[in-house]
Amino acid sequence: MKIQLINPNTSAAMTASLADAARQVLHPGNQLLAVTNSAGPASIEGHYDEALSVPGLLQAIRDGERNGVQGHVIACFGDPGLLAAREIARHPVIGIAEAAMHLATWVATGFSIVTTLGRTKVIARHLVERYGFHQHCRGIHAVEIPVLALDDDPEGLLRSMRTACAGALERDESGAIVLGCAGMSHLATELTEELGVPVIDGVSAALKMVEMLGELKLSTSKRGDLDYPLAKPYAGFLQGFAWPALTPASSPL
C-alpha cells in the first residue's frame, strides 16, 4: 500500500521531518510518499493561509491518485480542503486534526488541544464543532510560537509545550493532549512519557487510519455529496483544475 503524506505548507524541511516520523509508524510493507505543497503559504496560520493551501493540496491528491497512491493524509491541523479532497479521491483521505481528535476520545473522556498561535484557535474550535467533539474537548491553548519557528529552539519548544500541556491538563481536567500542529509531531513520544498521559500526534494517527481503511477496503462514499465533482470548465490560472480533464501532473499550471 502506497500512502501519501501531504504537507499543505511549502516547507520541504517540515515535510522531510514528518516523513521520517511517518516511516516509523507505517507497516513494513507500506510505502510512504511525502509531498510538499508546490504552491501556497510557507506556513498556515489563519484562514487566508489555509484557503490558499488548498489548490496545491488538491493537485497533490489528484497526482497521487494518478500515480497509484492508495490513501492520503492532510498534515495540517486545520484539515484544509478535506471534503474537497474526498470528492476527487477514490482512496481514503484523513486530516490530522480529525485523526487526533477522534483518537483522543478513545483514550480519555476529555482532551485539551495545544496549538501554535492564538489566532489559529478559532480554526480548531470550528473543527471541534464540525466533528462533534464539543463535549470532549475541554480547552484549546496556544504556546504563541509560529509554525516555522517551532524548530528554531528545540529545547525552548519542549519547555513551552511541557508547561502548556501540564497547565492544560490541570485547568481543563483533561486526560489527554492533542497536538495542534503537524510541526509538533516529534514531541508526542517524549511528552507522553513526561506527562504520563496520551499526547496525540495527528500525523501518526491519520497514517494509521488510512492504513486501516485500506485494509478494510473502505473508502469515501461516492453516493451523494462526496461523489466526484461534476464535469465543468475551469477558467484562468486554475483552468487546469477542470474536472475530470485535469491537466497532467507534470503540467506547469
- Among residues 17 and 120, whose Cβ is nearest to a copy of itself? 120
Binding mask 218-247 for a copy of itself (x = CB under 8 A): xxxxxxxxxx-xx-xxxxxxxx-xxx----
Q: How far apart are CA 236 and CA 35, in angstroms?
A: 25
- Residue 60 CB, nearest distance to a copy of itself (Å)? 11
Number of residues that this document lists for the chain:
253
**Which is nearer to a copy of itself, 11 or 155 (by Cβ)?**
11
According to CB under 8 A, which residues from 159 to 188 bind a copy of itself?
169, 173-176
DSSP state of 118: G
79 contributes a contact to a copy of itself by CB under 8 A: no
DSSP state of 185: G
Contacts with a copy of itself: how many residues (CB under 8 A)? 103
Name the residue among 229, 227, 251 with its Cα closest to residue 240.
Answer: 251
Nearer to a copy of itself, 154 or 228 (CB): 228
Instruction: Quote the CA–CA distance of 56 and 38 in Å, as a whole number.
Output: 6
Q: Are 61 and 71 in contact (CB under 8 A)?
A: no
CB 233, min distance to a copy of itself, A:
5
Of 96-155, binders to a copy of itself (CB under 8 A) are 98, 102-103, 105-110, 118-123, 125-126, 129-136, 146, 148
Q: 190 pairs with which residues across the strands? A: none
Q: Is 18 helix (H, G, I), strand (E, B) or coil?
A: helix
